Structure 1
């Protein structure tokens, strides 16, 4: 695979030229971006998948909900609906996509919408939901919208600064795109990441003067949950079970829960489970618990799987959470009264 990626280097150069020209046209105004009066925060990455966007969106929701009417707008990847959809009591993962439906389940007071056309999506949200602030999920490259605030995510083990353009690497655009970010969050760090390690990454990043850098980790819940029950994490670790993940980079999830007798089933990101796959999962479980990620749970719920549980996660900061919260609150309150 590494050899093939190196062979494809000329295509990466062409891809870089195309995306670079596109960004330049936006920068100089040949391509137009739509701006909105409402505060708009875009969360995204330079690489493909697995940087922890959903936990970061949920962190922002918890921060903002007490003081503002909040909306989220996502593309709704792999949903079976089209156009603009605003979540309601009839929505499910097939209509919204798994991540937006997860937001809708956990935060019913939030207006959750999906639309591949972000300009149209924001326009519709302002008309129908009238939010005080909008969070754009996975929209760092969506330059048809001019967000007021950009949060760029990059993982501790795969920093964008060490990566390369597709198809040789995993970057959707050049590392220069990071200059658009107001905040950069290094995600999936060790909980005990030292100040020395943080400083080394900070030096490597060569931040712009206006940018702030933060370090976060995935904080796992102490329980796994079903719709009607919960089990302590220490108990479930010692039980024979089936672990299922259809997410990008599921290794930490498996490592956190697995024991030697477990059956581990890994699927592609946003995987839609077929009836034959469901039957195979039931057969392998043989009455034992089935534990999956929260994102997969919204797609597996109601699929005739008994003893189905999910493990909630949260994004938490190694340090500096007060400064992060303050930067977000300052932007939103400033835009509210500007």
Structure 2
């Protein structure tokens, strides 16, 4: 009980801080805490730029692994729609005959108990291996142990190895040796400097490119905007089809050589959580629904639902990566029923954090999103070919 109370308070504080960073909160408390966070941002900026300088000047050294390494990441925390891009890249590379491994740090995954770590150290001379979420044939870990995104990727990508470890140099070497992988996708790896990518794909959310312009913890930036210059390609995500010339000019100012590929996250269908039922998005038109989410930018998800012609009669937001308990869901559905909604819709990323066997008093579906290229390539497969196979060169000639 004390642990649950502590987790609840921690999640409340995280949501409070997130609301301040995203400009959702006002008042004296928000202003004072915001000023404190701004001071911390200046300190964080100094640390970030010092670290990059050390790697750039080879005082700290990266470790090449002798195969193609594709880095997918962003300058900001959360909300750029990175997971569907990683999934589509892995799928396209796999379908072209590559043996692909996705390397993730497993954000907010459950670490192995300390006794297991000690037991391994006592009985082995080498480091503990990375957690194998998928060996390419089977999904071996659940979302709590693997982390939300790695589990979701493993579930959606048969034939692709998914590994979790904070040390992604070690995880990459393991993928090559154990599974014979020739292509590594470094998920959320733009700031992971020990493993150098030959290709750095930077995602920028068109709806909120750089937040308020401050670095963490006052803003959403992980590093300064000028570090756009480190990208090989820039993917503008969550586009509605209209060009943003000001944003593109900023990108070209800092990185005139980077090619820009514009894409949209398109809702494809709804999948019922407690059955195999799958329905088209048109199913929601005219219905009064509830929206349940625990993601960084819930506004985008809720906008998708409104655009179907549905009426949002109930909205419940939790902190990013929040792990729902049975009591949480019971309370949500009681409130949803009281609001008179016909069903509750959540995100695919949230759905993986709902325990198997959970029963709902209302139908509960998750929204499946996929990437659609709008500009810069005819489709995603062409984008992959353009980026990873220039001039038709095989992967082993592109290793770095």
Q: TM-score, normalised to structure 1's length?
A: 0.90
Corresponding residue of 2:315: 264
1:53 Cα deviation (Å)? 0.8
Q: 2-side partners of 1:223 and 1:180: how far apart?
A: 37
Residue 318 in structure 1 maps to residue 374 in structure 2: yes
Q: 1:216 aligns with which of 260, 263, 266?
A: 263
Q: 1-side partners of 2:60 and 2:280: how far apart?
A: 53
CA contact (8 A) 1:187 1:216 kept: yes
Q: Unpaired segments of 5 or more residues in structure 1?
A: none
Q: 2-side partners of 1:11 and 1:81: how far apart?
A: 28
Corresponding residue of 1:229: 277
Q: How does 1:1-338 map to 2 (within 5 A)?
A: 1=20, 3-4=31-32, 5-6=34-35, 8-67=37-96, 68-82=98-112, 84-87=130-133, 88-160=138-210, 163-190=213-240, 192-194=241-243, 197=244, 199-205=245-251, 206-226=253-273, 227-258=275-306, 259-260=310-311, 262-286=313-337, 288-306=342-360, 307-322=363-378, 324-330=383-389, 333-337=393-397
| Structure with max Cα Rg | 2
1:133 Cα deviation (Å)? 0.8
Q: Unpaired segments of 5 or more residues in structure 2?
A: 1-19, 24-30, 113-127
Q: How has the CA–CA distance of structure 1 residues 91 and 288 changed in structure 2, closer, same or farther, with 3 Å as cutoff?
A: farther
CA contact (8 A) 2:139 2:155 kept: no
Q: 1-side partners of 2:386 and 2:146: how far apart?
A: 30
CA contact (8 A) 2:269 2:278 kept: no
Q: How has the CA–CA distance of structure 1 residues 160 and 243 changed in structure 2, closer, same or farther, with 3 Å as cutoff?
A: closer
1:234 Cα deviation (Å)? 2.4
Q: 1-side partners of 2:208 and 2:303: how far apart?
A: 18
Question: Bigger shift: 230-239 or 325-334?
Answer: 325-334
1:238 Cα deviation (Å)? 3.0
CA contact (8 A) 1:218 1:314 kept: yes
**Count of equivalent residues:** 334
**3-state SS of the aligned residue for 2:249?**
helix
Q: 2-side partners of 1:305 and 1:239: how far apart?
A: 22
Q: How has the CA–CA distance of structure 1 residues 6 and 189 changed in structure 2, closer, same or farther, with 3 Å as cutoff?
A: farther
Question: Bigger shift: 168-177 or 33-42?
Answer: 168-177
1:64 Cα deviation (Å)? 1.1
CA contact (8 A) 2:211 2:221 kept: no
CA contact (8 A) 2:293 2:316 kept: yes
Q: How has the CA–CA distance of structure 1 residues 179 and 334 changed in structure 2, closer, same or farther, with 3 Å as cutoff?
A: farther
**3-state SS of the aligned residue for 2:95?**
coil
1:233 Cα deviation (Å)? 1.9
Q: 1-side partners of 2:293 and 2:225: how far apart?
A: 30
**3-state SS of the aligned residue for 1:147?**
coil
Q: How has the CA–CA distance of structure 1 residues 135 and 261 changed in structure 2, closer, same or farther, with 3 Å as cutoff?
A: closer
Q: 2-side partners of 1:161 and 1:300: how far apart?
A: 30
Q: 2-side partners of 1:228 and 1:12: how far apart?
A: 46
Q: TM-score, normalised to structure 2's length?
A: 0.77
1:143 Cα deviation (Å)? 0.5
Q: 1-side partners of 2:343 and 2:357: how far apart?
A: 15
